[in-house]
A and B are shown apart, each in its own frame.
Chain A
């Protein structure tokens, strides 16, 4: 499969970044063609500009060459993999902004010309997979409603063909985990992505 891995963490020395590298290595070992977007490393701007907002409902909503390149990768991908820490129950702003700016009409969905209803356009997508770490213990994560997971596995999934599969690999209570638990989680990610 063509796999696009999108990563959002500001610190290349973080555990989350190690998860990202583990995922990419495992996917390549599994024989997949992998492209990556490391949002912080690329200096991606999360903020949709006024010009982009004005162009949003036009036939040409993409104005920035970096956004155009990312959109091309999204269209190419059969699997979209996201590796990020959950902050305030949701996506880090840089990743939320990536959805706002890159997944526009003509990429993730189309506006019906007459009724203006949104129609799915991620025709190549066969899998959405999220790998996320949570600071809070699991019960608190539930109370906090897991909005990031809902954004990717529901809102984004609505733009995919109906047979598109969804997978979520989560590590809860990251702040209090031991070295051994982290290593075990890395092994789990490696195992699951190799077998994809």
Chain B
């Protein structure tokens, strides 16, 4: 499969960077073609602009800054997101990638005369999240897992009808031991081996 890996962490020496490397290496080892997008390294600007807001229903082709990101998304069979969970959800740089790139004409379309949007990213058959939570699973359950819901529900309905959503998460990362982190890397490798 062609796998688009989208990675968001500001610090190259982080545990999340190690998870990215493990994910990419595992996918390649199993014969997948990986297209890695490092949002921080690209200097991606997550704030939807006034102009984009005013023209949010225009085709993406009229927004040159977004075209390459849209093309990479359209060319993938699977999407793997690797990020730390902050405030229950994606870091702003990744949330902004949803806001700006997953727009009309890329992720969905609103056909003339209809009041329901139709999905356009039917090329995506797998949607995988690899993430770490500083806080415990219990705290995240109370918070209602906003980040999980955005990907598993809001984004998933815009993919292939039978697209599979996989959630690979380490809870309590702030207080985790070296051993727990190693075990989590192994879990990421095991699960991505069976993409």
Binding site for B on A (CB under 8 A): 9-11, 14, 40, 45-50, 52-54, 87-94, 96-97, 99-100, 103, 111, 115-118, 136-137, 140, 143-145, 147-148, 150-151, 154-156, 158, 176
Contact = CB atoms under 8 A, between A and B. Distances in A.
B54 interface: yes
Interface residues of B, number: 48
Given A89-B150, A93-B47, A147-B150, A48 B143 contact: no
B95 A151 contact: no
Which residue, B10, B47, B153, B174, has most C-beta atoms of chain A within 10 A? B47
Given A89-B154, A100-B86, A111-B174, 19 more contacts: A46-B93, A48-B10, A53-B9, A53-B11, A88-B99, A89-B149, A90-B150, A93-B93, A93-B99, A97-B92, A97-B95, A97-B96, A115-B175, A140-B116, A145-B149, A145-B154, A148-B146, A150-B88, A158-B143
Nearest to A14: B53
A10 B46 contact: no
Given A87-B99, A96-B95, A155-B143, A46 B154 contact: no
Nearest to B146: A147
Interface string B133-169: 0110001001111110110011101000000000000
Interface of B: 9-12, 14, 40, 45-50, 52-54, 86-93, 95-96, 98-99, 102, 115-117, 134-135, 139, 142-147, 149-150, 153-155, 157, 174-175
Contacts of B102: 88
B156 to A, nearest CB: 10
A122 B87 CA distance: 15
A118 B155 CA distance: 30
B149 A176 contact: no
A118 B134 contact: yes
Which residue, A93, A94, A154, has most C-beta atoms of chain B within 10 A? A93
Contacts of A116: 174-175
Contacts of B9: 53
Contacts of A54: 11
B155 A88 contact: yes
Contacts of A111: 174
B116 to A, nearest CB: 8
A99 B87 contact: yes
A155 B10 contact: no
Contacts of B115: 137, 176
B37 to A, nearest CB: 15
Given A49-B10, A50-B10, A96 B149 contact: no
Given A10-B50, A46-B93, A48-B92, A151 B87 contact: yes
A46 B146 contact: no
